[in-house]
């Protein structure tokens, strides 16, 4: 069996895609920027599943460097391009995210085309669909695109421009190769290792007691394990070629709703999760001095609802209940020592 290439194998979504592929019987090749992380990645995966080490190969390749990509895609029928710059810290300029994301996806697609890869699945995001629009009462679908001319954060702009570039490349220079894109909403779920992905920052801070009140907005969320499952379906199903797929587990949730679920499922261990919601006006005022709230300004007071009906109908994808995902996320964070409740000083 020819290997499937997964870019960004040490990432949150990438590592779960590797696990799903191995579980399905595929041979996997994955890229990492730092080969020293290979032993840790293998350890995480072996703690979650039993597999033959010969079925996983780890190679070095960096989205910002042309070296290594031809070897990475050699003999592969499929590529899951998961790697992308992430918002672990607030970027100083758009180019810190946009240029690596756009140039990186083109670098991978060129190598895939030259190697005769049958299909590439691109990990995009809801951020490439539902940002920069005026308020609306209907859910976002795959027909929508984020407005990059609007005042939006660099991460969402980077995901949108990178995906636009990918579709243009396949149309104009792809030489018959196929592309599908997966658009997860907010991604929760258990950790495979002790990493601290940005998408779990919300629940981590709730558990730590570092969020005194919930910001006022609603959006959709999805389990990382279901995101990986959708990648595999988009990789092999003939109906997925040339399509975009939103991944979201049901209607949108307010941040305060997530806090209530944590209280219900974890009891005292989630006692600091804030059920109280900040008023929109106060949150906007705080955003002028708080960089993290400033990144949410396009969401404040909004309901960014989305539907995954297309993935469910066309590919038979079925996400698990988001309440279970939220509980699993919190349990995993606590198990790994991330998000432990803040101890109050003795008086």
What CATH number does residue 137 fall under?
3.40.50.720
| Listed range (149-163, 224-238, 255-269) with the worst mean pLDDT | 149-163
**Residue 275 maps to a domain:** no
3-state secondary structure of 50: coil
- Distance, in Å, from the CA atom of 26 to the CA atom of 179, rounded to the nearest integer, reads 20
Inside any domain, residue 271: no
Eight-state DSSP code of residue 241: T
Tens digits of residue pLDDT in 15-62: 999 999 999 999 999 999 999 999 999 999 999 999 999 999 999 999
Token code pair at residue 265:
């499922």
Instruction: Give the CA angle between residues 171, 173, 102 to the nearest 5°.
Output: 85
Q: What total of structural domains would you count in the chain?
A: 1
95 or 12, which is more confident: 12
Rounded to the nearest integer, the mean pLDDT of the chain is 93
Q: Distance (Å, rounded) from C-alpha 217 to C-alpha 83? A: 28
Residue 23 domain-assigned (yes or no)? yes
346 has pLDDT over 80: no
Owning domain of residue 18? 4-190+220-251+307-313
The model's pLDDT over 68-101, given as tens digits with 9 standing for 90+, comes to: 999 999 999 999 999 987 655 554 467 778 888 8
Tell me if 211 is assigned to some domain. Answer: no
Residue 320 lies in a domain: no
Residue 336 belongs to a domain:
no
For 198-207, how does the pLDDT look when each residue is reduced to its tens digit (9 = 90+)? Answer: 899 999 999 9
How, if at all, do strands 78-81 and 119-123 pair?
parallel
Distance CA 81, CA 30 (A): 10
DSSP 293: H
CA distances from residue 198 to 12, 40, 86, 217, 223 in whole angstroms, order as listed: 9, 19, 8, 18, 14
Which is nearest to 140 in space by CA: 327, 310, 346?
310
Check residues 60 and 295 and name the one with the higher pLDDT: 60
Question: Per the domain annotation, does 137 fall within a domain?
Answer: yes
Residue 236 has pLDDT above 60, yes or no: yes
Does residue 297 carry a catalytic annotation?
no
Q: Which of 159, 272, 297, 310 is catalytic?
A: 159
């Amino acid at each position: 069996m020819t290997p499937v290439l997964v870019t960004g194998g040490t990432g949150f979504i990438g590592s779960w895609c590797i696990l799903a592929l191995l579980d399905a019987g595929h041979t996997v090749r994955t890229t990492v920027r730092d080969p020293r992380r290979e032993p840790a990645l293998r350890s995480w995966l072996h703690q979650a599943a039993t597999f033959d080490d010969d079925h996983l190969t780890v190679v070095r390749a960096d989205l910002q460097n042309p070296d290594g990509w031809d070897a990475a895609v050699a003999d592969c029928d499929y590529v899951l391009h998961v790697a992308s710059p992430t918002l672990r810290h607030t970027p100083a300029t758009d180019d810190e995210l946009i240029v690596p994301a756009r140039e990186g996806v083109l670098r991978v697609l060129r190598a895939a085309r030259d190697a005769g890869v049958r299909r590439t699945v691109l990990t995009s995001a809801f951020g490439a669909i539902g940002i920069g629009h005026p308020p609306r009462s209907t859910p976002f679908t795959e027909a929508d695109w984020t407005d990059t001319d609007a005042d939006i954060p660099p991460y969402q702009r980077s995901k949108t421009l990178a995906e636009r570039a990918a579709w243009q490349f396949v149309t104009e220079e792809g030489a018959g190769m196929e592309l599908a894109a997966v658009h997860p909403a907010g991604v929760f779920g258990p950790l495979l290792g002790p990493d601290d992905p940005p998408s779990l920052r919300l629940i981590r801070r709730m558990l730590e007691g570092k969020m005194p009140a919930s910001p006022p907005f609603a959006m959709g969320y999805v389990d990382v394990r279901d995101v990986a499952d959708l990648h595999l379906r988009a990789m092999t199903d003939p109906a997925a070629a040339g399509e975009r797929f939103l991944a979201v587990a049901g209607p949108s949730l307010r941040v305060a709703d997530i806090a209530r679920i944590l209280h219900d499922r974890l009891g005292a261990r989630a006692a600091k999760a804030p059920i109280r919601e900040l008023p929109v006006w106060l949150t906007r005022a705080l955003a002028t001095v708080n960089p993290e709230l400033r990144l949410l300004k396009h969401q404040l007071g909004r309901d960014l609802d989305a539907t995954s009906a297309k993935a469910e109908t066309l590919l038979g994808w079925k996400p698990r209940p988001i309440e279970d995902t939220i509980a699993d996320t919190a349990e995993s964070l606590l198990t790994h020592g991330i998000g432990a409740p803040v101890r109050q000083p003795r008086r």
